[in-house]
Amino acid sequence: MMLFVKELTALDVSLWCPRRGLVGASYHIDVELEGELGEDGMLFDFGEVKPWIKSRIDDSLDHTLLVPTKAPGVEIEECREGLRLRTRSPWSLEMRAPRQAYSLLPWANISIERLETYLSHELSRRPPPRVAQIRVTLREEVIEGAGYTYSHGLRRHRGNCQRIAHGHRSRLAIHHNGKRSPVLEQRWAQRLDDIYLADREDIVRQHSERCRIAYDAPQGHFVIELPGERVEILPSTTTVECIADWIASESAALVGGHVQVQAFEGIDKGAVAAARSA
Ligand SMILES: Nc1nc2c(c(=O)[nH]1)N=C([C@H](O)[C@H](O)COP(=O)(O)OP(=O)(O)OP(=O)(O)O)CN2
């Protein structure tokens, strides 16, 4: 018997891409389970499937930086904080963070197919009773209008969002004086394409075209250094509420009038903020 659950949860990660650099990504997770029915006529109670799979995904790749350790120019070594990642191509990044902030994957690049195989294997290693095999499918959300891909870390978050390089692929809708503004949306989509969003308070060094961000959080000490052109600095933390507020204020200052921004954080959730300027 095969049981399926579509859009069981979402995977939100950053990944190192040999072509694009640091990329924020979000995927719908669909699952199929194969096995034998029990006396209750069920393979696995839907009410239990969801928390079971979600907790394993949360403890696995979710909210980590996916590092293809065989990609050109990628180096990983132990350090005081846990692990140090250095990259050279397409640009140079250095990150030091507790081990749990990374998923080290022995590949030359990250692909959806490899992630599906990896997660299917991980989940099938210790399956629940009667379940023989679990297959995971990942799907990017279809974004018809504007979207943005960013990485960040929330120093004040008690959960895994404190990790300094996790990310999202998100929709963005902007209204200017009550009308949808594809021009503003495209402008922001370009500005926030594969960007790192930093809280001004977390910048510890900015010189020679490099930007270093560091903080202590409950999981440990986190440091990331990358080219200044890959970073947008916000006057606040980078929760989606603050991102929406920042985009609204900057847009209103630029074009005048009333601007309303609906910013998503990953799939199907986000914040709305508005600003007005003369
Ligand atoms: N009000 C807010 N809450 C949270 C924010 C935020 O910006 N505003 N941000 C985060 C983290 O950045 C995190 O990346 C988001 O985590 P999330 O995907 O919500 O995590 P979950 O696994 O709990 O949720 P699922 O959607 O079920 O995957 C956290 N909170």
Q: What is the DSSP string of the chain?
A: -EEEEEEEEEEEEEEEETTTEEEEEEEEEEEEEEE---TTS-SS-HHHHHHHHHHHHHTTTTTSEEEETTSTT-EEEEETTEEEEEE-SSS-EEEEE-GGGEEEE-SSS--HHHHHHHHHHHHHHSPPTTEEEEEEEEEPPP-SSEEEEEEE--TT-SSGGGSTTEEEEEEEEEEETTEE-HHHHHHHHHHTEEEEEEEGGGEEEEETTEEEEEEEETTEEEEEEEEGGGEEEESS---HHHHHHHHHHHHHHHH-EEEEEEEESSSS-EEEEEEEE-
How much is the mean pLDDT over the chain?
97
> Ligand 1 centre from 17 Cα, in Å?
23
Q: What is the pLDDT of residues 17-58, one digit of tens each?
A: 999 999 999 999 999 999 999 999 999 999 999 999 999 999
Tokens 């006057």 correspond to 235
Buried b or exposed e, range 40-56, using 16+ CB within 10 angstroms: eeebbeeeebeebbeeb
Task: Kindly give, in sequence order, each residue whose CB lies less than 8 Å from that of residue 93, ignoring residues fewer than 6 positions away.
Answer: 16, 21, 22, 85, 86, 87, 224, 225, 226
Which residue's C-alpha comes closest to atom 3 of ligand 1? 239
pLDDT band at 96; cut points 50, 70, 90: very high
Which residue's C-alpha comes closest to atom 4 of ligand 1? 239
> Ligand 1 centre from 167 Cα, in Å?
10
pLDDT band at 171; cut points 50, 70, 90: very high
From 65, 157, 247, the mutation candidate for ligand 1 (largest count of ligand atoms within 8 A of CB) is 157
Give yes or no for residue 189 having a pLDDT over 90.
yes
Mean pLDDT value of segment 69-75: 97
Question: pLDDT: is 205 or 213 the higher one?
Answer: 213
Q: Is the CB of 141 under 6 A from ligand 1?
A: no
pLDDT at 204: 96
pLDDT at 8: 96
pLDDT at 219: 97
Spatial strand order in the sheet of 93-97:
75-79, 82-87, 93-97, 220-227, 210-217, 203-207
Q: What is the pLDDT of residues 234-247, one digit of tens each?
A: 999 999 999 999 99
Amino acid letter for position 110: I
Mean pLDDT value of segment 199-206: 95
Mean pLDDT value of segment 165-169: 98
pLDDT at 208: 74
pLDDT > 90 fraction of the chain, expressed in percent and rounded: 97
Q: What is the pLDDT of residues 100-156, one digit of tens each?
A: 999 999 999 999 999 999 999 999 998 999 999 999 999 999 999 999 999 999 999
